[in-house]
Amino acid sequence: MKSELLQQVRVIDPVSSTDRVADVLVIDGVIQALQETIADYPTDTQVCNCRGLVLGPGLVDLYSHSGEPGFEERETWRSLQACATAGGFTRLHILPDTMPAIDNVSVVTRLQQKLATATVKFNFWAALTVGAKGQQMTELAELAAEPNIVGFADGRAIENLALLRRLLEYIKPINKPVALWASDAQLAGNGVMREGTQSICLGLPGNPAIAETAALAAILEVVAAIGTPVHIMRISTARGVELIQAAKAQGLPVTASTTWMHLLLDTQALKSYSPSLRLEPPLGNTNDVQALRQGVRLGIIDAIAVDHTPYTYEEKTVAFAEAPAGAIGLELALPLLWHNLVETGEWSAIELWRSLSTYPSQCLKQSPSTISPHSSVEMVLFDPHETWQVHMHTLKSLSSNTPWLGQTLRGRIVQTWYET
């Protein structure tokens, strides 16, 4: 029997709206008691003084990228698991853009076998389409029957609205989540940052906000006609928040997410020309950031995704406009969001944890983890005061494409519990 007592830890549980200091007794992977003080526990219990530490449900990442299979120099399953654990994530949902792509049952079967003993829960988004131009549907029903397939997403925009309509018609009776990214490639053109005065000043091609919002409006019209529930990925504009709010007010079956970096940085950060800030969608302006933060707080934007996208040093060490889009984030998201939003008083701890754990689970039709008596442990212990430097040798990820490389951060995961 393994017994652990966490004494005087700050317990944050969005499911029960709990934010209080208490003792937590865990025996054999189950929370046996949560009380102000626990004096009665087994004699061989490992007792930990957790004053100043935060205990919360395991974090859930809606969508991220893996290197393996196909790009193991960027990230392997082992390194991805390590950086997820280091960042407090107990559930990962991987986009299908591997090589080979996750677009048929045989690939899924191999992945399930390889990850059977993983210490985090890996689920996969199956591809919606196949082919270089994505003009053909995958075997949706066959893929949906696989236990580790959480839903369907390409991770790229589907601009053929007739195809999107057919996809949603086919998926509706399957009852699996569908994640779509709203982006119009023709409007975006060769833009690499949000169009505006900053893009002119920096001499970088602009990607207008309407590249997102025009595509989003079209998707919402298709959803209104078909009625299939969808999740909208990577909302990055203030107008995008307004469109999601209006869609929900009309009763459309939509949920939405933004990424963690879009809540922290705006176009001002691009003065550094750091290739790690080359993102898709691009960082927004100050109004976009404020609208996204408010949207998450109010529940208009349901969840925060990491969209962890590893690239090698050689791939990212190029001119900004030539760099592939994406940055890593599994190890960085919680400490940076906590420091910039919770410690400043802008968000409560429950609001942050809810958007990183409870609501992502609900978007995926999963039961959220909770810290309550008789629950299996799926939780993380976070020290908001510990400082550490972001370097290649301190990161668990094989890649280091982050604008925070070389900086000192405050806040780090102390321990992760996950019972399979």
Question: Which residue, chain included where needed, has tokens 């942050």?
Answer: 352
DSSP class of residue 237? Answer: S
Range 3-54+374-418: architecture per CATH: Roll (2.30)
The per-residue pLDDT for 419 is: 75
What does the chain come to in residues? 420
- Cβ neighbours of residue 192 under 8 Å, at least 6 residues apart? 204, 205, 207, 278, 282, 320, 321
Question: What number of CA atoms fall less than 13 Å from residue 317's CA on the CB side?
Answer: 5
pLDDT tens-place values along the chain, 420 residues long:
799 999 999 999 999 999 999 999 999 999 999 999 999 999 999 999 999 999 999 999 999 999 999 999 999 999 999 999 999 999 999 999 999 999 999 999 999 999 989 999 999 999 999 877 778 999 999 999 999 999 999 989 998 999 999 999 999 999 999 999 999 999 999 999 999 999 999 999 999 999 999 999 999 999 999 999 999 999 999 999 999 999 999 999 999 999 999 999 999 999 999 999 999 999 999 999 999 999 999 999 999 999 999 999 999 999 999 999 999 999 999 999 999 999 999 999 999 999 999 999 999 999 999 999 999 999 999 999 999 999 999 999 999 999 999 999 999 999 999 976
The per-residue pLDDT for 194 is: 98
In CATH terms, the fold of domain 60-363 is TIM Barrel (3.20.20)
The per-residue pLDDT for 420 is: 62
Spell out the domain ranges in the chain. Answer: 3-54+374-418, 60-363
In this prediction the pTM is 0.96
The per-residue pLDDT for 296 is: 98
* 97 is an active site residue: no
Question: Which among 154, 184, 302, 307 is annotated as catalytic?
Answer: 307
For residue 202, count CB atoms less than 10 angstroms from its CB and return exposed for 0-12, middle for 13-18, buried for 19 or more. Answer: middle
Do residues 285 and 206 touch, judged by C-beta distance below 8 A? Answer: no
